[in-house]
Amino acid sequence: MTEPVIAQKGPYALTLQPGTYWWCACGRSKTQPFCDGSHKDTGFTPVKFELQEAKQVYFCGCKHSETKPMCDGSHKTL
């Protein structure tokens, strides 16, 4: 697999609590935007994301962002 699956053409806006999260890079996860292990045998690996305090984040949904796991607006060009 050379290209990720586009999970959605827009960011996932979430308010998260402090902790460690794993962002899905392949687009196959059933628990978007988080990894559920569906990337096995795809060549993709999830991206670790850590928060020290609660805050709103915008995870990339199209999987084409240059600032993974955060949205950079790349979905506007797909």
- What's the CA gap between 45 and 39, in Å, rounded? 7
Mean pLDDT of the chain: 97
Q: Is the pLDDT of residue 2 over 90?
A: no
- The residue type of 52 is Q
Does the pLDDT of residue 1 top 80, yes or no? no
Q: For residue 41, is pLDDT > 80?
A: yes
Q: Model confidence over 14-40: pLDDT tens digits?
A: 999 999 999 999 999 999 999 999 999
Structure tokens at 63: 């999987």
Over residues 57-75, the mean pLDDT reads 98
Global pTM value:
0.94
